[in-house]
Amino acid sequence: MPIRLRPAIFSGSLPAMSIIAALAVFAFPMQAFSAPAIDAEDNTGSGSPNGGITTPGSSPAGGAAMRYNPDQETPEILYDLDKLPEPARRMRSLIMEACRSGDIEKLRALIGSGAGATQLSFGELNGDPIDFLLQVSGDSQGHEILAILLEVLEAGFVHLDAGTEREVYVWPYFFAVPLEELTAQQRVELFKLVTAGDYEGMKTFGAYIFYRAAITPDGRWMYFVAGD
């Protein structure tokens, strides 16, 4: 499904590179993924690695929560960050802090490496994750993709698969709700990320397929992907 992203995100000649790179995930089958091993340095002065986020041994989480499931009951839309477990809230804060810095390299430690790295594509990603993010960004320094990730995490969110090994908190909530049922206020929130034209196209497709991000209750950044 072709998507016309908002001019503020992809303008001029950028769609030829950015949209193809960001949404080329259509061409790849779903891959199983593991929770990332986080080795970010703590900048809070607490002396605790990862800002106090622990990373117990991870097991493959599967990919069901990466795609909209129309058969699943519509989850509650959440805005209250106090409903996030502290590790998840801390990871969200670290990611947003990195985005606001304007330095895309600050995401590297949060993404991790190897089989446990944050998933950035539905297909296999063999290269450097920061290089990949730079490729899908509309500018050479990655500021655009940082802005998108920041806006994603500033949106409301949903809590999926509670009590299972695939339990995650996913931003934005549009990913898990029927687009045709959005209220006027919710459509305004959606249009901070995509255009009205994108919205109509996504309704035809049957799901929100722009960027979304997920964090586990124990603070692992599971994925940041677009497409389906």
Q: pLDDT tens for the chain, 228 residues: list them.
A: 444 344 333 333 333 233 323 343 333 333 333 333 334 444 433 333 333 333 333 333 345 366 666 677 889 999 999 999 999 999 999 999 999 999 999 999 999 987 778 999 888 777 899 999 999 999 999 999 999 999 999 999 999 999 998 899 999 999 999 999 999 999 999 999 999 999 999 999 999 999 999 999 999 999 999 987
Is-contact 89 159, C-beta < 8 A? no
Residue 66 lies in a domain: no
Residue 142 lies in a domain: yes
Residue for token digits 């340095």? 41
39: which 2 tokens? 């080795």
Strand arrangement, sheet containing 168-171:
158-160, 168-171, 212-215, 221-225
Confidence at residue 66, expressed as pLDDT on a 0 to 100 scale: 66
pTM above 0.85, yes or no: no
> Which domain does 137 fall in, by range?
15-25+73-225
- Tell whether omega for the bond before 172 is within 30 degrees of 0, i.e. cis: yes
Residue 213 lies in a domain: yes
Domain count, the chain: 1
- Residue 143 CA to residue 163 CA, distance in Å, equals 36
Residue 85 lies in a domain: yes
The overall longest dimension of the chain from CA atoms, in Å, is 50
